[in-house]
Copies of this chain bind each other. A is one copy, B any other.
Amino acid sequence: MSIDKETVTVPRGFLFSTVEAAIKKPGRKDLAMIYSEHESVMAGMFTTNSVKAAPVRLDMKLIGKGTGRAVIVNSGNANACTGAQGMKDAVEMGKLAAKVKGIKADEVYVCSTGVIGTPLPMGRIRPQIDVLVDGLGNATMDDVAAAIMTTDTFPKIVAKRKKIGNKMITITGICKGAGMIQPNMATMLSFIVTDAVIDKPALDAALRQAVGRSFNRITIDGDMSTNDTVLIMANGAAGNETIKMKSKGYEIFEGALTELAYELSELIVRDGEGATKLVEVEVKNAKSERDAEKGAFAIANSLLVKTAIYGNDANWGRLMAALGYSGIALKEEKTDIYLNGLQVARNGITTGVDKEANGRLKDKRIKIVADLHLGKGNAKVLTCDLTEGYVKINAEYRT
């Protein structure tokens, strides 16, 4: 899959740089920097895993201020489960990156992704940070998207342009994902930059909204990582009237950010480790939205469902079983199930079209709908199929 580079616009006032520090192995760019020429308003969301990587703990402190100038990020090593040394290394990465044009260390956010439990090879990283800083402006945001990849097979970048008053604003986001994508984000890093003028409460609210409807509703394997981070930087270069919670522009901004985050999260699922199919699971008319979400995640995380989809097997009984153990309100005899528009179960029993449904599962995009007929709760979750490829990638990840 390739992303059409020409469609991606990047907001004014941001510079990018990438270098090779041979963190896991040589031969690829694995250290990157995003730099804003002006002080930016910043918001962030982080993993809820109680085991948090050192850079995550560092950024969670920094984000309190609500402003920043730069992000430095490496792939190949997550700097997680690395104890006191890990925090020392994260702080040092930020300090070294802060050499650029007089910004301060507490204006630099640090992110890492990759193997857990191995100390960062600072001997190789340290000298490359100078090169990274000197090179600002030599790379594109696409290059950064490529540098943060781990098991991803393609870089992920999405841009949105909207008019706020008479000013055009641009929001551009990149992310990396692949495995470990479960509610509350994933081994997911996402960096979003915008030239919009927006205050901190509005930026916080818009990010929470967008992530709740996108990154938090995708799942690859049910695992949740120690490093998940979404950061957004708004440098104000567009010169629009300041977006605040109650201003007209807020809805436009939040809408665009949610769309962007949804499209990024769809790219993550499409690139799920070993995935051959994108699967949207919708649970409709559950007793509550919470029930709908729980039911949809139970289906989306069921290995039996995911392998059946991979095998073009309309084994809808496995969906029913997953709904049954999800713990939500359910009446088997009221439940309807549809696979790519074809009703395979009515009132909890077969409609006799499994063979035709098997054929429909050959599509690369699968839509599962379970209509519970119990209330008004709806939720959609994105996932992918489970293949031999997933096993292979994750069995050999460190070799």
A-side residues, CB < 8 A to B, are 48-52, 78, 80-83, 85-86, 115-119, 179-180, 182, 221-226, 301-304, 307-308, 310-311, 313, 315-318, 320-325, 327, 330, 332-333, 345, 347-350, 354, 386-388, 390-392, 394-399
Q: Give the distance in Å from the alpha carbon of A327 to the alpha carbon of B325 in the complex.
A: 20
Q: Which residues of chain B have C-beta atoms less than 8 A from A325's C-beta?
A: 48-51, 182, 223-224
Residue among B52, B303, B354, B395 making CB contact with A223, cutoff 8 Å:
B303
Copies held by the complex: 2
- Assess the B307–A395 pair: CB atoms within 8 A: yes
Residue among B52, B80, B117, B320 making CB contact with A117, cutoff 8 Å:
B320
State whether A51 and B388 are in contact (beta carbons under 8 Å apart), knowing that A223-B302, A311-B396, A315-B117 are contacts in the complex.
no
A196 to chain B, nearest CB (A): 34
Q: Which residues of chain B have C-beta atoms less than 8 A from A223's C-beta?
A: 302-304, 318, 321-322, 325
Residue among B82, B226, B349 making CB contact with A82, cutoff 8 Å:
B349
Q: Which residues of chain B have C-beta atoms less than 8 A from A225's C-beta?
A: 321
- Assess the B350–A118 pair: CB atoms within 8 A: yes
The 8 closest A-B pairs by CB, nearest first: A116-B317, A311-B395, A51-B324, A117-B317, A307-B394, A388-B388, A83-B349, A49-B324
Residue among B83, B321, B388 making CB contact with A348, cutoff 8 Å:
B83
Q: Which residues of chain B have C-beta atoms less than 8 A from A347's C-beta?
A: 83
A244 to chain B, nearest CB (A): 35
Q: Give the distance in Å from the alpha carbon of A272 to the alpha carbon of B389 in the complex.
A: 19
Residue among B52, B348, B391 making CB contact with A81, cutoff 8 Å:
B348
- Assess the B332–A81 pair: CB atoms within 8 A: yes
- Assess the A81–B345 pair: CB atoms within 8 A: yes
A12 to chain B, nearest CB (A): 38
Q: Give the distance in Å from the alpha carbon of A221 to the alpha carbon of B324 in the complex.
A: 16
Q: Which residues of chain B have C-beta atoms less than 8 A from A49's C-beta?
A: 321, 324-325
Residue among B119, B226, B348 making CB contact with A320, cutoff 8 Å:
B226
- Assess the A398–B81 pair: CB atoms within 8 A: no
Q: Which residues of chain B have C-beta atoms less than 8 A from A226's C-beta?
A: 317, 320-321, 324
A4 to chain B, nearest CB (A): 33
- Assess the A391–B320 pair: CB atoms within 8 A: no
Residue among B86, B313, B323 making CB contact with A398, cutoff 8 Å:
B313
Name the residue of chain B whose CB is nearest to the CB of A183: B325
Q: Which residues of chain B have C-beta atoms less than 8 A from A51's C-beta?
A: 320-321, 323-325, 330, 332
Q: Which residues of chain B have C-beta atoms less than 8 A from A311's C-beta?
A: 394-397, 399
State whether A317 and B81 are in contact (beta carbons under 8 Å apart), knowing that A51-B323, A51-B324 are contacts in the complex.
yes
A75 to chain B, nearest CB (A): 15
What are 22 contact pairs spanning A and B, CB under 8 A? A49-B325, A50-B324, A50-B325, A81-B320, A81-B348, A82-B349, A116-B315, A116-B321, A117-B316, A117-B320, A117-B354, A118-B317, A118-B354, A179-B304, A221-B304, A222-B222, A307-B390, A307-B394, A311-B399, A388-B388, A388-B391, A388-B392
Q: Which residues of chain B have C-beta atoms less than 8 A from A313's C-beta?
A: 395-399
- Assess the B395–A350 pair: CB atoms within 8 A: no
Q: Give the distance in Å from the alpha carbon of A78 to the alpha carbon of B304 in the complex.
A: 15
Q: Give the distance in Å from the alpha carbon of A308 to the alpha carbon of B179 in the complex.
A: 13
Name the residue of chain B whose CB is nearest to the CB of A311: B395
A301 to chain B, nearest CB (A): 8
Q: Give the distance in Å from the alpha carbon of A182 to the alpha carbon of B322 in the complex.
A: 12
A228 to chain B, nearest CB (A): 10
A58 to chain B, nearest CB (A): 15
Q: Give the distance in Å from the alpha carbon of A66 to the alpha carbon of B182 in the complex.
A: 44
